[in-house]
Chain A
Amino acid sequence: MQGAAGATRAEAESTEQQMPASQPAAAPAPTSPPADERRAKTIEACDLNLFYGDFQAVEGVGVTIEPNKVTALIGSSGCGKTTFLRSLNRMHELTPGARVEGRITLDGHDIYAKGVDPVQVRRLVGMVFQSPNPFPTMSVYENVAAGLTLNGGRMKKAEKDEIVERSLRGAHLWNEVKDRLDKPGSGLSGGQQQRLCIARAIAVEPEVLLMDEPCSALDPVATLAIEDLIGELKSRYTIAIVTHNMQQAARASDVTAFFNLEETGKPGRLVEIGPTETIFTSPKEQATEDYVSGRFG
């Protein structure tokens, strides 16, 4: 399995070289051959209610996030997209007072069931955050290996080297940083830092990758690089991405879910979910149409 993965990464590399040059705006990301043995997992939310103390942030959401597809979550600020995303790897409950009602299953297993260790869930469901957050005390190499070393796993140097290289190649960052693996991770540019964070997330081989507005702090070129990367990663992972950028949702995702809230102070709800093309061209709901066409009031 790892051999096959290495091969696809190597192919990916050649496309990467031309990256900094200007690319056609909506170039579809090259998808690697589906020869990959690895089968990503479905994550499913059912009748989900999320609370911060007394405040209900999300109400009655039911979504199936399918494997090997990119699911985009769109909607206005404060409608609960990020809260929903954070409930998928049990990060939501880290906020004091936060509560979860309903069911979330990973390949049919309830991740909120009694006795399930949230730490284990987070190993299976990785996350990339809004602003790049490499560990400032660690080098590029250590950042990528962080998921392995932080968990205290002992590992041979050669094995670790291989995982670091594979993850960095997978995140389209290897060529840019291979000569400065021992330099601090915070010394990279914003776009490189975000790709470093993606490398760090995929180094632990999660089943699902959650991305919370991963490009909101990046310039258009870096954004494009990340979008290409997302398109490629979906062959191996189940991906959910929160974005405020409608073009991004249209470009990078296969499925789009639109969240909305009736008014401030009310919980956010899932309005509509469907294939990205349908959502952007002929949505069922008026609210969706208003939002994606920019006529949102």
Chain B
Amino acid sequence: MQTSVDIPPLLAAPAGGSLWRRKLVNRVMTGLVVLAFVLALLPLFSLLYQVVSRGLPGLDWEFLTGTPRGIVGGGGAAHAIVGTVVITAVTSIISVPIGIMAAIYLTEYGGKGRLRRWLTFFVDVMTGIPSIVAGLFAFALFAIFLGPGIRLGLMGAVALSVLMIPIVIRSSEEVLKIVPNQLREASYALGTPKWRTIVKVVLPTAFAGLVTGVMIAVARIVGETAPLLVTTGIVDSINTNPFEGRMQNLAVYAYSEYRTPGVMKQASYDRAWAAALTLIAIVMVLNLVARLVYRRYRTEIR
């Protein structure tokens, strides 16, 4: 590499063309990384494109407000949207308190004890269990008391809680861990009992992170299909009561529209895609809300 300026020996590149080689390696590595990035995004964009282009035709007012009309097909997915909202809400009501309190135990009370280690281990295991297993668990649990063949919105919520609790625990634990110990000590030094320190200092400081974690957990379970297939069943009418009767949800709706289309097959397929699009829209809205909450409430932690 020759330049017009005289380079003093101290700053000159080492002899033997190693500079040339280094630049080449740098280029190649940059290229590989960019390529990997593009490869990772391709399926995502392809999927988004497919869902939007195929889902939009079926997504109309009737789809959002109507319910299926007999064997001819047609109608909408209002019952599935309502079901998704109810099941997700009940799941959150069960999972969020349990998850956050478990995380508080792990970070604030667990110390280095054996119980803490076992809990952490099982939480890790639980994040990895297949969702159908969670569904079968809820199914078996309710079958013991209410007999086989029972289908309830609540059953679905219990199945989803099995999946959601470990995610909430994991994310909340991480957030609580980064609350500086100084703040706890400052609170203790003022003569504040431990539980008040947790409620008034630790949780508010971690609030934004906790909400984000919960939203991500919700987004993760809102599209579950398999566990709901065996617990909430398939139904054609709106049901808002999780304690009684079957309950439809968007993912299961999409599945059943494809599996057992009506007389006009294309219309059923369109509705399945529209359901998928609606689901993605819900997840996106949840993520946006999480971001807004995070921006609004995050606390600067030095």
Are B299 and A133 closer than 8 Å at their CB atoms?
no
Total cross-chain contacts (CB, 8 A) = 79
Q: Which of B261-302 contact A (CB under 8 A)?
A: 299-302
Contact A201 B190 (CB under 8 A): yes
In the complex, what distance in Å separates the CA atom of A136 from the CA atom of B187?
Answer: 12
| Nearest Cβ on chain B to A213's Cβ, whole angstroms | 13
Give a binary string over A143-157; 1 marks a CB under 8 Å from any B CB, 0 the rest. Answer: 000110111100000
A119: Cβ under 8 A from any B Cβ: yes
Q: Does B205 contact A (CB under 8 A)?
A: yes
For A127, the chain B residues whose CB sits under 8 A away are: 185, 189
Instruction: Name which residue of chain B comes closest to A130, CB basis.
Output: B182
- CB B297 to nearest CB in A, in angstroms, measures 9
Set of chain A residues within 8 Å of B300, measured between Cβ atoms: 136, 186
Contact A129 B187 (CB under 8 A): no
Number of chain A interface residues as a range? 20 to 34
Contact between B189 and A126, CB atoms less than 8 A apart:
yes
Knowing A135-B201, A186-B300, say if A204 contacts B191 (CB, 8 Å): yes
Chain A residues 157 to 204 lying within 8 A of chain B, measured CB to CB, are 186, 197, 200-201, 204
Residues of B contacting A281 in the complex (Cβ-Cβ under 8 angstroms): none
Question: What does the 1/0 interface line of B197-224 toward A look like (CB < 8 Å)?
Answer: 1001100110100000000000000000
| In the complex, A99 has a CB within 8 A of chain B | no
Closest B residue by C-beta to A150: B192
Contacts of B205 in A (CB 8 A): 135-137
Provide the main secondary structure of the chain B interface: helix
Would you give the shortest CB distance from B91 to chain A, in whole angstroms?
29
- Asked if A223 is an interface residue, CB under 8 A from chain B, the answer is no
CA–CA, A196 and B159, complex, Å: 49
Residues of B within 8 A of A96 (CB): 111-112
> Is B185 a contact partner of A94 (Cβ separation < 8 A)?
yes
Contact of B186 among A133, A151, A152 (CB under 8 A): A133
| CB neighbours of B183 from chain A (8 A) | 133, 135-136
CB distance from A201 to the nearest CB of B (A): 7
Nearest CB in chain B to that of A123: its residue: B191
Bound: A96/B188 CA distance, A: 15
Whether A137 and B299, one on each chain, are in contact in the complex, defined by CB atoms closer than 8 angstroms, is yes
CA distance A124 to B189 in the complex (A): 9
Chain B residues whose CB sits within 8 angstroms of the CB of A120 once the complex forms: 191
B interface residue count range (under 10 / 10 to 19 / 20 to 34 / 35 or more): 20 to 34
Q: Do A151 and B301 touch across chains, with their CB atoms under 8 A apart? A: no
Contacts of A201 in B (CB 8 A): 189-190
What is the chain B residue whose CB lies nearest that of A121?
B191
Q: A135-B205, A136-B300 are in contact. Are A151 and B191 (CB under 8 A)?
A: yes
Question: Are A122 and B191 closer than 8 Å at their CB atoms?
Answer: yes
> Is B193 in the interface zone, CB < 8 Å from A?
yes
Q: Report chain A residues within 8 Å CB of B196.
A: 150-152
Q: Does B147 contact A (CB under 8 A)?
A: no
Residues of B with C-beta under 8 A to A150: 187, 190, 192, 196-197, 200-201
Contacts of A197 in B (CB 8 A): 186
Is B31's CB within 8 Å of the partner chain A? no
A238 in contact (CB, < 8 A): no
Which residues of chain B have C-beta atoms less than 8 A from A129's C-beta?
182, 185-186, 189
Q: How far is the CA of A131 from the CA of B180 in the complex (A)?
A: 12
List A contacts of B185 (CB < 8 A).
Answer: 91, 94, 127, 129, 133
- Say yes or no: is A256 at the interface (Cβ < 8 Å to chain B): no
Would you call B187 and A119 a contact (CB within 8 A)?
no
Residues of B that sit less than 8 Å from A by CB: 111-112, 180, 182-183, 185-193, 196-197, 200-201, 204-205, 207, 299-302
Instruction: List 9 additional A-B contacts (Cβ < 8 Å) besides A133-B185, A137-B207.
Output: A94-B185, A96-B111, A122-B191, A123-B191, A134-B186, A135-B187, A146-B190, A151-B191, A186-B299
